[in-house]
A and B are shown apart, each in its own frame.
Chain A
Amino acid sequence: MTLLNSGDRVSDTLVIDRLLGEGAFAEVHRVQHEYLGWQAMKLFKRVASKEETKAMLGEARLLSTLGHPNIVRLFEASTVQTPEGLRGFFTMEYVAGGSLERLAAAHRPSVPTDLVAEVMLQIASGLAVAHDQDPPIVHRDVSLANVLVGYDGSGMRIRVSDFGLAKRADPFTRLASAQGTYAFMAPEVLRNQGYSCASDVWSVGTIAYLLLTNHFPFDDGAQFSSYSFARFAKPLLPPSSYNETVDRELDKIIMATLEVDRNNRPATARELYDALRARKETVAREPIQAAQNSVARPPTERAKKLAEEALSLRYVPGQLNRAADLMEEAVNLSPHLREQHLPKLLLWRRGVIM
């Protein structure tokens, strides 16, 4: 049971459309804004006042006003009456493509190297702006679920969400929700030695490692191993030992982000970004390798339906954005559909109906 359900009215302009996901401390709904179309709404399960909601969002709001393309934009924060009483919520841009979890699942066992490098570059770009603040803003919970994958007119656009929310979530709910996110946490964080920008850098490296290899770094396969510090004592295999398409430079960058001693990592996302940028320029100068022969599974029925709905909706006047959102969802669900429809989606995002 969720606090709010499809059709529930949140405010004069917002109506719940459907549930997108649920964690221990919040549920996320897609909402329909009367004028602005779809938005995502995060509803806190325990936060009960407007002041508390705004306090939770302090850093996220600050970052949102910077308007960086790789940081999720927030719209409003308020409270809504639910069957269990008043609850805080905030709305943010809806990214139809979903999170990296979906991208990883669609490409399993491994996401193409170029795509991972681009994902990593854009996450680093968003985090760099946060780390550049004085004092630096540390995300604290960079994971597959908090990185959203959309497309604009020029290509894939990654957006990092939920800045600083982890800081204020109470430890108990953290524990309940963190099964997934512990795996992305740096050793010093697990040892309660405090967060720094370098802890975020570790999380970005973990994401890249996982996407490329389908393995968590330092995961020895033992049950509950993510709780044991002993695993960090073993040497880490580079991503290329699982995935031969990973180039040496990317190997090196990722291995640096996963240095157990935080002093040996890039200190901030800015440093990581610069390294990825330099690699990208080098790669661009190299001769193009033959395309990876991906074993493209046929798209699922759901993905196919989304794409078909998008293709017919694009001709309905005023519905191009909605069509693009549906297609964005479809291409992230299926590499096959991505190959087939990505150019079209980018055109739609540029306002061209084709």
Chain B
Amino acid sequence: MIECATLSCAGSLHPDNQDRLLADPERGVFLVVDGMGGLADAAATAGIVVSQLSAAMNAVDVHGPDVRQVVTGVLDKVNAAVRAAARTGPGTTGAAVAMVVVRDGRALAVHLGDSRIYLARNGKVTRLTEDHTEDGHLTRFLGMGGEVSPDVSLHDLRPGDRILLCTDGLTGTVEDRAIGAMLTRAGDLNRVCRQLVDAATEGGTIDDTSVVVVCP
């Protein structure tokens, strides 16, 4: 069984947490979703993304030759659902997403927007994602018009690896180096999550912060 821990904490921007996350160690599906938009919409959108994506990914063969296409197709459907569900019309709500599917010693990493994925190995940490942002705006996200093009990558895993998925509440205020140090520190995964979120709070984050740490 894959080991994992999660923590999500509302920021000071709004009283309710607009991040949603999922950790399904049995199926190896892990994701963080950062909802955007007004009032209840952001959290609702993030919720839609979590339920639709986790349901759809179950059927995906991560080792198939056309995995990129299949994943893009899945995200296209979720994208359409987000747009259709927007109360105040398509384009008024959206979400950034980072997802890892761990199966048979490999990790499939997928993201759209500024939620990130890090891989810690032998005390070194690599970021597996490039933010889809330009001048502080998201260039790609779920709920956008047109076709979505997620970044999809495959990684062979080794014993002792740790994977972190997080929303920009963490990465907006904590440097990669500090994240790496906390992620590689020995100890209970729940404690690692707590340290990461505390670091974001101490760093003055005003945004919701969500982290999922996976020990595949």
Contacts and interface: CB of A to CB of B under 8 A. Distances in A.
Interface of A: 34-37, 65-69, 73, 75-76, 153, 315, 317-321, 350-354
Interface of B: 4, 6-8, 14-16, 20-27, 39-40, 44, 47-48, 50-52, 54-58, 81, 84-85, 87, 212
Nearest to B20: A351
A318 B8 contact: no
B30 to A, nearest CB: 9
Contacts of A35: 44, 48, 81, 84-85
Contact of A321 (B4, B6, B51): B51
A121 to B, nearest CB: 17
A341 B17 CA distance: 24
A13 to B, nearest CB: 8
11 contacts: A34-B85, A35-B84, A37-B47, A73-B40, A317-B57, A321-B51, A352-B22, A352-B23, A352-B25, A353-B22, A353-B25
B27 A350 contact: no
Nearest to B33: A351
B72 to A, nearest CB: 19
Nearest to B82: A35
Contact of A317 (B6, B14, B27, B85): B27
Given A37-B51, A318-B54, A351-B23, 5 more contacts: A68-B15, A75-B40, A317-B57, A318-B52, A354-B25
Contact of A320 (B54, B81, B84): B54
Contacts of B51: 37, 318-321
A320 B55 CA distance: 10
Given A37-B47, A67-B14, A153-B8, A351 B40 contact: no
B55 A318 contact: yes
A73 B56 CA distance: 29
A351 B22 contact: yes
List the 6 closest A-B pairs by CB distance, nearest first.
A318-B55, A35-B85, A317-B55, A318-B51, A67-B15, A351-B21
Interface centre among A34, A73, A350, A351 (most CB of B within 10 A): A351
A37 B27 CA distance: 23
A35 B16 CA distance: 20
A69 B15 contact: yes
B6 A352 contact: yes
Given A35-B84, A67-B16, A350 B6 contact: yes
